Amino acid sequence: MTDTIAAIATPFGSGGIGVIRISGPSSFDLAAKIFSKTPADGGKKVPQFVSHRVSHGFICDGDTTIDEVLVIPMKAPHSYTAEDVVEIQAHSGTIVLRRILDLLFSHGVRPAEPGEFTRRAFLNGRIDLTQAEAVADIINARSDASLKFAASQNVGVLRQSIQEMVSILTGFLARLEAAIDFPDEAGAFFYTSQDKTALQSVADKIGDLIRQHKDACFLKTGIRLTICGEPNVGKSSIMNRILEKEKSIITDIPGTTRDPIEDSLTIEGIPFVIVDTAGIHQTDDLVEIIGIEKAKDQIEAADIVLYVLEPGKPFPEKTASKTLPRDKPVIFAINKMDLADGLDLPHFPEQYAGSCSLEISALTGHGINGLRTKLLETCIGNLEIGNDAVIPNLRHKNALVHALEHMTAMMEGLDKGQEEETLALDAKNCIDQLGTITGDTASLDILDAVFNNFCIGK
Ligand code: GDP
């Protein structure tokens, strides 16, 4: 039998409304003990709570009225936790909410642990672990895209995908086990071409999900864009223009930016982290040299690099070839186009001939919208957010990697005619790994790790 828990469900501080959530078998009785239809001096009128119907009244502590509130009782299983739940909407102030909560505690309610309401929803089978994790992602979403993506997880897109794979594997495992347990009745195990196709589709799906992990990470943490180039080409000005604020210091003096400066923004709902770096060139200045090394680290850490050039100057082939990455997208921007009249534009050497280059002016804003669009196109390509089960976190990715290892071992074993016991073990391990994602086979440690990331009250 579970106990009854309560916590403040809204953020601390002053606001219009603050919500206290109570969940557990005694929620209705305990809420009734502190709630009255009339203020404290009007004599306590015990309410008759009707599920999913709002009650207006007062929270009273003996002769003292603490606050005028609305109470929403929700009978199990039609509530967030699938238990009896009562939500009290009071005025949002730290003291008033704390007093109501303390009053509940004095009547035997236990303070909720972080994430305990969502944990109960999971344990009561109302949601699976991917949905529980999506709740945390919805709360922490920093952009429209990550919200959309978390919301698709919340309705169970990933769970469905995993269940389809588990169902194919379970059917296959059942036949293997029948052949092991009843060799006479079941006869020899046959690996048909349909089996091969079905198992290959599971392996392909797991592979797809692992690949999508990187794209999903972009959406959660932001796409890292490093702006680099020679000193004074306008890197800081471009950063400020993209951010639409004065983040980086701009001067004519080369070497002004020494430490990388970073800030974040969203473009069309996609989060970006933009990093301005020290100009890369030949120098004996020790501080500048350190800045240049840091710039190189930032290029290394980038998802996409913006290399800035300017009219009237040759393409800096030596510096570019030493610093530009080959394994990630690079966009060239020829800045200061407002000064380009009569000047030659940099001539791109053969190796960069096919690269994307844009003509812009950080001063006038010319080409900046085009640059934003190019950044989006380059980074997210054809990623369809929410249309498929994109995996959102490292825990899922690790489980999928292990699941794929067992799948691969099993499929190789099948081709080699390996004994059924070994094949069955790989099939079981694969199912177990997939089950940790939805929570079907998750250990207590995994549950603790997931729910400890939640705030109290969720
Ligand atoms: P960084 O060293 O590459 O970061 O360059 P800054 O952003 O500090 O700019 C160096 C100088 O170029 C400053 O005087 C800027 O005002 C100027 N500048 C930057 N972008 C433009 C531009 O598009 N047009 C013109 N005319 N000047 C610019």
pLDDT digits (tens, 9 = 90+) for 393-402: 778 889 999 9
Q: Which residues pair with 223 in a beta bridge?
A: 272
CATH 3.40.50.300 positions along the chain are 220-380
Other CB atoms within a 10 A radius of the CB of residue 353 amount to 9
Nearest CA to ligand 1 atom 20: 234
Note the maximum CA span of the chain: 90
Estimate to the nearest angstrom the gap between the alpha carbon of 31 and the chain centroid.
36
Nearest CA to ligand 1 atom 11: 252
Q: How far apart are CA 37 and CA 345, in angstroms?
A: 78
Cβ of residue 340 lying under 6 Å from some atom of ligand 1: no
Q: How far apart are CA 271 and CA 205, in angstroms?
A: 27
CATH 1.20.120.430 positions along the chain are 157-216+392-451
How confident is the model over 330-343, as a mean pLDDT? 95
Q: Is the pLDDT of residue 278 over 80?
A: yes
Q: Which two tokens stand for residue 8?
A: 């403040």
| Crossing angle for the helix pair 193-221 and 368-380, to the nearest 10 degrees | 150
Q: Is the pLDDT of residue 279 over 50?
A: yes
For the chain, helix, strand, coil in percent to 5 are 45, 20, 35
Q: Cβ distance 83 to 75 under 8 Å? A: no
How confident is the model over 291-305, as a mean pLDDT? 89
Cβ of residue 277 lying under 6 Å from some atom of ligand 1: no
Please name the residue that has the structure tokens 């099939």.
427
User: Pairing relation of β-strands 223-229 and 304-309?
Assistant: parallel
What number does the ligand 1 atom closest to the CA of 337 have?
A: 23
Sign, Cα dihedral of 74, 80, 86, 88? negative
pLDDT at res. 216 = 67
CATH 3.30.1360.120 positions along the chain are 5-112
Sign, Cα dihedral of 340, 343, 344, 346? negative
State the distance from the centre of ligand 1 to the C-alpha of 295, rounded, in angstroms: 18
Position with higher pLDDT, 290 vs 150: 290
Q: Which residues pair with 30 in a beta bridge?
A: none
Q: Cβ distance 27 to 47 under 8 Å? A: no
pLDDT at res. 386 = 47
The DSSP letter of residue 363 is T
Amino acid making up residue 324: L
State the distance from the centre of ligand 1 to the C-alpha of 335, rounded, in angstroms: 8
Q: Please enumerate in sequence order all residues whose Cβ is within 8 A of that of 54, keeping only pairs 6 or more positions apart, or say none.
A: 70, 71, 72
At residue 265, the 3 state secondary structure works out as: strand
| Ligand 1 binding pocket mutation candidate from 227, 232, 233, 237 (most atoms within 8 A of CB) | 237
At residue 68, the 3 state secondary structure works out as: strand
pLDDT digits 0-9 by tens, 175-233: 999 888 877 765 667 788 899 999 999 999 999 888 877 666 677 678 899 999 999 99
Q: Which CATH number fits domain 157-216+392-451: 3.40.50.450, 3.40.640.10, 1.20.120.430, 3.20.20.80?
A: 1.20.120.430
CATH 3.40.50.1100 assigned to 5-112: no
* pTM for the whole structure: 0.65
Amino acid making up residue 183: P
Nearest CA to ligand 1 atom 2: 232
CATH 3.40.50.300 assigned to 220-380: yes
Q: Please enumerate in sequence order all residues whose Cβ is within 8 A of that of 363, keeping only pairs 6 or more positions apart, or say none.
A: 234, 237, 336, 338
Q: How far apart are CA 76 and CA 84, in angstroms?
A: 5
| Ligand 1 binding pocket mutation candidate from 228, 230, 232, 334 (most atoms within 8 A of CB) | 232
Cβ of residue 435 lying under 6 Å from some atom of ligand 1: no
What number does the ligand 1 atom closest to the CA of 231 have?
A: 2
Q: Please enumerate in sequence order all residues whose Cβ is within 8 A of that of 264, keeping only pairs 6 or more positions apart, or say none.
A: 142, 222, 271, 272, 273, 274
pLDDT at res. 190 = 77
SS (H, E, C) 252-302: CCCCCCCCCEEEEEEECCEEEEEEECCCCCCCCCHHHHHHHHHHHHHHHHC
With CA atoms as reference, report the closest residue to 334 among 321, 350, 318, 316: 316
State the distance from the centre of ligand 1 to the C-alpha of 365, rounded, in angstroms: 12
Q: How far apart are CA 166 and CA 440, in angstroms?
A: 11
Nearest CA to ligand 1 atom 18: 234
pLDDT at res. 368 = 95
pLDDT at res. 318 = 86
Q: Cβ distance 71 to 86 under 8 Å? A: yes
The order of strands in the sheet holding 356-359 is 261-267, 270-276, 223-229, 304-309, 330-334, 356-359
How confident is the model over 429-437, as a mean pLDDT? 95
Q: Cβ distance 268 to 376 under 8 Å? A: yes
At residue 334, the 3 state secondary structure works out as: strand
At residue 279, the 3 state secondary structure works out as: coil
Amino acid making up residue 261: I
